[in-house]
Amino acid sequence: MKVMLTGCGFIGRNIAYALSDNNIEAVILDNAGDIENYSLPGCYFYKCDITNLDDVSKILDEHKDIEVVIHSAMISAVAQSVKHPLEFYSQNVVGSLTFVHLLKDKGIKKIIFASSASVYDDVPGFMVTERSPLKPRSPFGRSKYIFEMMMRDFCNAYDMKCISLRFFNPVGIDHFFKSRTHSLPMKTGSNLLEILIKILNNEEKSFVINGDDWLTRDGTCIRDYIHITDLAMANVKAALNFDTAFEKAGAEYTNYLSLNVGSGVDVTVKEFLIAFENITGEKINTIIGPRRIGDIGGSYANIQLAKKTIDWEPKLRVEDAIIDRCALEY
């Protein structure tokens, strides 16, 4: 099997590892750094912007046996999207639309889209299923929502199929990085764990908790922190089980399917902080700050549909993510 993967940042890099580990050939596109010099068994790396249709078209012509495209080349970060909405809509919506239009013209009909839990509304109890109300609160979340809606329309009109994987909060690094004979330059995400690492390294002075007056068990936001290696494996499972996923989902899912990709465990910010302090043996200085624009009180995943349709479930815990990440530093 051969797939195309767009984006080779924090998430894309880990998806590349998972594809390689499972003997799936991958054509990987990214427009940053010296990606053309990267090496991973079964992977072909190209420095290419997905909006450069001439270059993408040539690559697709070189690899006519591509069966599935995993589209993750989007910019992320809720807070940044509030400050720079034009950039987010331009790349995440307009750029992605241009790219998928080319895929349609090239006859590629199977898309896996890296969506986000940011599309969901705040719900009682905080656990969301794929049927929970959608109400993104930031330009980042809205860009994901808009693209999901566009893909529904494409699938209905152009005989395409799409699985949107709604990622929750990825943390950690490649779980197997110590044992790899081939590895890519390390890329870490922009998330709670990385902020705590910076404080431990004296790069930041304090950890700001954005509100302690949320209606949760300790007043801080509830999130679903998923190990990046588990998240990456969900993409592999979606690719391998693409066709049968729709059959298993039920008669109403003929060409478009959304799946939650999270740990299925709700963790407050304070609970994550305590886990980090217990593992590192260090006390983190904290400050209570205001709520951030675009935040919701809580959200964690019901992952039963992903288990049913693509035979995926997470294997690692929040503590594993913290241990793996700290092992890189200390």
Tokens of 221: 């936001």
Task: Quickly name the fold that domain 2-184+220-265+297-329 has.
Answer: Rossmann fold (3.40.50)
Please give the average per-residue pLDDT across 40-54, as a whole number: 95
Tokens of 265: 């465990």
* Percent of the chain scoring above 70 in pLDDT: 98
In 3D, which of 83, 117, 79, 139 has the Cα closest to residue 222? 117
Residue 267: strand pairing partners:
223
* Residue 294 predicted with pLDDT over 90: no
What tens digit of pLDDT does each residue of 211-264 get? 999 999 999 999 999 999 999 999 999 999 999 999 999 888 899 999 999 999
CA angle (298, 299, 305) in 5-degree steps: 165
Give how far the C-alpha of residue 305 lies from the chain's centroid of Cα atoms, to the nearest Å.
17
The DSSP annotation for 127-186 comes to: EE-TTSPB---SHHHHHHHHHHHHHHHHHHHHT-EEEEEEE-EEES--TTGGG-SS-PPP
**How far apart, in whole angstroms, are the C-alpha atoms of residue 35 and residue 83?**
29
What tens digit of pLDDT does each residue of 148-198 get? 999 999 999 999 999 999 999 999 999 998 888 888 888 888 899 999 999
What tens digit of pLDDT does each residue of 49-90 get? 999 999 999 999 999 999 999 999 877 666 677 777 888 888
